[in-house]
Amino acid sequence: MFGSIGQLADAAIPLTARVHDECNGSDVFGSDICTCRPYLAHAIEECIRGAQAGGAGLIVYFRKEGRGLGEVTKFLVYNARKRQAGGDRADQYFARTECVAGVQDMRFQELMPDMLHWLGVRTIHRLISMSHMKYEAIVAAGITVGDRVPIPDELVPPDARVEMDAKRAAGYFGNAEVPDSTELGKPKGRSFE
């Protein structure tokens, strides 16, 4: 929380917020295969800026490791992505997860807004997130969302380009161009072959 906790319930006070799903690999150990750590750091900076400008900032950290698949499964997916024929590619990003885990994503975001309601949040003026699942769950719970803020491209680690291209091609929110099918099939980052 940045600013006064009482400000969270006042829809007139600008609130910058991020709902962040746990990523030990990146958040704790600094892996650069995903954008979790840089996105969390960016969100913290944006929340601080918002509070310094007279608003409030909020980071909600949920224990949903690896898209709700768990730590071990997430690392099995990472290994499968890196070791597949042709290396790590955006066109196979979601397919590798589905091959290993049986699903692309196990997160259930519908209950996530309960924490926001408990804190009295009715309006988020700046949501630091590209996720449609999070956005739609928040809005469906009756919380108004103003601007959505994607991760700035310069904060995306080289090995996380696969993730970003795959997510943009799948329709995640963002300002960058959506890569075409030729670009999606190109290997990016390091391969272990």
For the annotated catalytic residues, the residue numbers are 105, 107
**CB-CB neighbours of 15 under 10 Å:** 28
Residue 186 DSSP label = S
Residue 43 DSSP label = H
On the CB side of 11, CA atoms within 13 Å amount to: 8
Counts for the chain of helices (H) and strands (E), in that order: 8, 4
CB within 8 Å of 185: residues ≥ 6 apart:
86, 89, 90, 91
